[in-house]
Structure 1
Amino acid sequence: MSDGARAGTSSGESLLYLTDEQLRQGIEAMFFAYRGFTADPDRILGDMSYGRAHHRAIHFINRAPGTTVNNLLNILGVTKQSLNRVLRTLIADGLVESRVGKTDKRERHLHLTDKGRALEGTLSDAQRARMRAAFREAGPEAVSGFRTVLEAMMDPEMRRAYAKLRESGA
């Protein structure tokens, strides 16, 4: 095998033999990409005294209107106390409604209000623009590979939750 193949420069197959240094570079690229991906929403949310936890809650409530608090806890992987703090703020500010379950009165089903949907749209538009530009620059094969890598990095439970969300078509 040539040095170029070992370095991952000659073919896709050679990427199976990444060095620790190449993996470190990938990790760092992921950190910096995440900073870029969250920068626009962070600026929008900062003006409202909200953070990323608020953004994630708004995003997933929008993706699955009527989701339960327990389902949101599972998706976000946060403590109940932490999520309740976020939801109290979003409800008090008129962005989220909490409705009592029709079959189980103990359940709370979450829905975005018109104001919440507007904020979610603003946040998502910013991230979609960044993703669209990056995907266009990278090309279709890279986009497919990127999705494959992201899914492979998910824990099995999260991969199932992700697949379920994708299947819902919401």
Structure 2
Amino acid sequence: MSERGSAHASTSGENLLFLTDDQLRRGIEAMFFAYRGFTADPDRILNDYAYGRAHHRAIHFINRSPGTTVNNLLDILGVTKQSLNRVLRALIEDGLVESQVGKRDRRERHLFLTDKGQALEKELSEAQRVRMRAAYRDAGPDAVAGFRKVLEQIMDPELRKHFQSLKDGS
């Protein structure tokens, strides 16, 4: 079978996947529609609080790394300090996030979810876990492993480092 006739071709020991522009476009569109589905349930929950996706991301990563600093959160989220401050101010005023002065460096602010914040995070993440669990179950373990690998390869190298540190639990 020729290289063009096969989805996979072996070239000097490497398996290469050849995709047409149309197949790549369909993959891009699938990502857009999947993201809409992935965010739909949390968006409905957040709407009750007059919050947006930036609030959700902040809640998620504060929950993932209790005590994270504002600067670390800025790095992870890739937003401006002004934008993050607006989000954090709302979350703090509404009693979802607590900001504590650093013990070693008093200029640092360490962020923690309150009980109310943890309850909202649980509601948001459970909605997404239900969707992910069903998709993973239907796709099967090989597809799940391949999907994770593709997602990691799409990430910018610096973001992949952030992801790896979260994945490793550090």
Structure 2 counterpart of 1:152 = 153
Inter-partner Cα distance in structure 2 for 1:46 and 1:12: 48
What is the DSSP-based 3-state SS (H/G/I as helix, E as strand, rest coil) of the residue aligned with 1:106? coil
Q: Residue 168 of structure 1: SS of its match in structure 2?
A: coil
Residue 79 (str. 1) matches residue 83 (str. 2): no
Q: Deviations over 1:23-78 (max 9, x none)?
A: 00000000000000000000000111000000000000000000000000000000
2:131 corresponds in structure 1 to: 130
Q: Which residue of 1 aligns with 2:46?
A: 45
- TM superposition shift of 1:113: 0.1
User: What's the secondary structure of 2:168's corresponding residue?
Assistant: helix
What are the ranges of 5 or more consecutive residues in structure 1 without an aligned counterpart?
none
> Who is 1:115 aligned against?
116
Q: 1:27 to 1:121 in 2, by over 3 A?
A: same
* Distance of aligned partners of 1:12 and 1:107 in 2 relative to their CA distance in 1, 3 Å threshold: farther
Instruction: Measure, in 2, the Cα distance between the counterparts of 1:58 and 1:2.
Output: 47
Rounded to whole Å, the distance in 1 between the matches of 2:9 and 2:29 is 21
Aligned residues: 165
The secondary structure found in structure 2 opposite 1:38 is: helix
Residues in 1 aligned to 2:110 and 2:127: alpha-carbon distance in whole angstroms: 27
Following superposition, the deviation at residue 4 of structure 1 comes to: 5.4
Counterpart code for 2:146: G
Which amino acid counterpart does residue 49 of structure 2 have in structure 1? M
State the identity %. Answer: 73
Secondary structure in structure 2 of the residue aligned to 1:162: helix
What displacement does 1:119 show?
Answer: 0.1
More helix by share: 1
Return structure 1 stretches of 4+ with deviation > 2 angstroms.
1-5, 11-15
Report deviation, 1:167.
Answer: 1.3
Work out whether residues 3 and 9 of structure 2, in 8 Å CA contact, stay in contact via their aligned partners in 1: no
- Partners of 2:28 and 2:89 lie apart in 1 by 35
SS of 1:109's equivalent in the other structure is: strand
Q: Which amino acid aligns with 2:74?
A: L
- d(CA) in 1 for partners of 2:29, 2:149: 19
TM-score when scaled to structure 2? Answer: 0.93
Q: TM-score, normalised by structure 1?
A: 0.93
Structure 1 residue 12 displacement after superposition: 8.7
3-state SS of the aligned residue for 2:166?
A: helix
